Amino acid sequence: MNEHTIIADKLRSEIIAGTIQESEPLRELALSNRFSVGRSIIRQVLLQLTNEGLVETRKNYGSKVTSYNNDAIINLVIPLRKTVELYALGQYFDKINESDFLKWDKCLKRMKQECENTNFKKIAEEDIMFHRIIIERSEMSDVIIIWNTIVNRLRGHFIRSYKKFKNPLEIYYEHNAIFNMFKTGKKDIALKILESNIE
């Protein structure tokens, strides 16, 4: 794993966990000293976290942790994500094959393991992967681009939303139910259960 990835993972985890507070400035020089790397690497990391929606960067003002805007997430981002995923699945549902099922099955096994380990960061990555399979299988470039932009801004929301579950394994059970509905071949019901999962 390269320095860029290690630093991005560390800062992402600290932001999501609240160790680095909302609106807290992220100074290139301080981060460069902290991680003993050049400022160019820090700039790359901050750009990546900005693209993920965790950091805000403004010219001549620097970077700071994004303030969590629950209203925008609930009323704009999630409905848009729902529309994109339902459209993608609806377009190719009748063409789902064994290769697709195998990808979801592998993803679910990893998700179950991370739920058992209560590793919310990795659960989020498997949750995203489960839905990424839906999007990429559509093979529609516009859908893929829009979804990638949306989901990069939802990582923190994923982890925050997991707190509603008394047992992390409920996250796995919910996605396994979606998978099992896909296997029935009942398109209308599969779309409804997917829609109910996206919140």
Residue 111 shares a structural domain with residue 14: no
Are 3 and 36 in contact by the 8 Å Cβ rule? The answer is no
Q: Which two tokens stand for residue 162?
A: 């997991």
pLDDT at res. 140? 94
Final residue before a domain boundary, out of 65, 98, 117: 65
Does one domain contain both 33 and 129? no
The pLDDT confidence band at residue 173, using thresholds 50, 70 and 90, is very high
Nearest CA-CA partner of 182 in 65, 93, 73? 93
Q: Which of 65, 93, 115 is the last residue of a domain?
A: 65
If asked whether residues 149 and 192 sit together in one domain, one would say: yes
Structural domains in the chain (count): 2
pLDDT digits over 30-89, tens only?
999 999 999 999 999 999 888 877 888 888 888 998 877 678 888 988 999 999 999 999
CATH code, 57:
1.10.10.10
Closest listed residue to residue 80, CA positions, set 135, 126, 120: 135
User: Same domain for 18 and 96?
Assistant: no
Write out the residue range of the structural domain in which residue 39 sits.
3-65
Per the prediction, the chain carries an average pLDDT of: 90
**Residue 72, SS3 per DSSP:** helix
Amino acid, single-letter form, for residue 54 = L
Residues 78, 61 share a domain: no
- Give mean pLDDT, residues 100-124: 95
Whether 123 contacts 167, CB under 8 Å? no
Cα 116 to the center of its chain, rounded Å? 19
Rounded to a whole number, what is the largest CA-CA distance in the chain? Answer: 56
Residues 174 and 147 in one domain: yes
**3-state helix, strand and coil shares in percent for the chain, rounded to the nearest 5:** 75, 5, 20
Q: Rounded to the nearest 10 degrees, how much is the dihedral formed by the CA atoms of 14, 20, 26, 32?
A: -50
Do 146 and 75 reside in the same domain of the chain?
Answer: yes
Q: Are residues 96 and 11 in the same domain?
A: no
Supply the pLDDT for residue 139: 93
**Quick one: pLDDT at residue 27?**
93
Which residues have a Cβ under 8 Å from the Cβ of 177 and sit 6 or more positions away?
A: 193
The CA distance from 22 to 16, in Å, is 10
CA–CA distance, 180 with 100 (Å, rounded to integer): 12
Residues 94 and 158 in one domain: yes
Mean pLDDT, to the nearest integer, of 130-142?
95
Report pLDDT digits (tens) over 20-31: 888 899 999 999
181 and 84 fall within a common domain? yes
